[in-house]
Amino acid sequence: MNTSVYDRQRDLKLFDDTKAGVKGLVDEGVTKIPRIFITPSDNLVTRPASDVRFRIPVIDLRGIDNDFTQRTSVMEEILHASETWGFFQLLNHGIPLNVMGEMVEAVRSFNEQPQEMKAEYYTRDLTKKVMYNSNFDLYKAPATNWRDSLFAIAAPDYLDPEELPVAFRKIFPEYSKHVMGLGTRLLELISESLGLNPNHLKDMDCAKGLSVAGHYYPACPEPELTLGVTKHSDGHVLTILLEDQIGGLQVLHENQWVNVPPIPGSLVINIGDILQLVSNDKLKSSEHRVIANKEGPRISVACFFSTFLKESTQLYGPIKELLSDENPARYKETTIRDYIMCVNAKGLDGKSALTHFKL
């Protein structure tokens, strides 16, 4: 094929203008994925599951409120996982299984309704509190990902459930409330594990903003040619991820792609760029991706802390209590707004935005 005559921007716009997303392509019965989705290989292999050194940590919160020894042990586990992997799976986190199930089903129900009903929420206007589209970085990223997403901002401002699609109106406020509670608790444990006051990260407004993304990954006819999500790190404080049992999430650990096998009832927690920045590289915001799959749809719900605090003037830099002559600041201060603008400007290009803020 003569690449010089390929008009990628034209094809992107044609796809975008349908407002039908990847699900629309699947509904049409495509057997070959459009060229915009073809992704260069990462040239990295997946570790065999039998290698115990390459299994994502699993942490159980059971008993931490009543047993000081157990709480101390869990804090050590969280710190170790956050320093080495930047990821861990969480058991006994306190969010009811039925609430988690209803949230997954809301994402499924929304995406599988008639296209014209979804289209009224389809937008690329970042000022909207509720936004449905395919690939937030469609016109910037080197390759298009095989997924559609519904974004909604749950905090700090009140979101009227009537602004949400019908499928989300009942479950979204309940699930968001549970996630806010869990995120606050995790930030307290992380603060304490760093030797800080338990409220330190909370007092920095790290638990103030919450955005929720319901991701829908349709079955892909040529999964070896594309990705559900390109390699990236998360440009905020902390992510709490709910996913179904299909799998596909991989974490880059010691230059190897490691599968994150779904555990029923668990949540996946990962450190975001802002926590790596304020901890002065002590905590790790790891790169991760989602592979495409012939099986589907895969459904996940990612809850991001502080991503959309765009109007806040709060500055985030390395926490002074963690610095010393031997450990000087490695990053300049930034607002969440400026950091997210940097992330959005470059899209998911496989490179961390943190490099732009290094001293």
CATH code, 176: 2.60.120.330
C-alpha separations of 64 from 3, 56, 144, 200, 249 in Å: 58, 21, 43, 20, 28
Query: For residue 131, is it within any domain?
Result: yes
Give me the tens of pLDDT residue by residue for the chain, a chain 359 residues long: 454 578 999 999 999 999 999 999 999 999 999 999 998 776 666 766 667 778 999 999 999 999 999 999 999 999 999 999 999 999 999 999 999 999 999 999 999 999 999 999 999 998 899 999 999 999 988 889 999 999 999 999 889 999 999 999 999 999 999 999 999 999 999 999 999 999 999 999 999 999 999 999 999 999 999 999 999 999 889 999 999 999 999 999 998 899 999 999 999 999 999 999 999 999 999 999 999 999 989 999 999 997 555 566 888 999 999 999 999 999 999 988 888 888 777 766 667 889 889 98
> Domain limits at 32?
11-357
Query: For residue 4, is it within any domain?
Result: no
Query: For residue 338, is it within any domain?
Result: yes
Query: For residue 3, is it within any domain?
Result: no
What total of structural domains would you count in the chain?
1
Query: For residue 2, is it within any domain?
Result: no
8 Å CB contact between 249 and 89? no
Q: What is the pTM for the complete model shown?
A: 0.94
Query: For residue 1, is it within any domain?
Result: no
Query: For residue 152, is it within any domain?
Result: yes
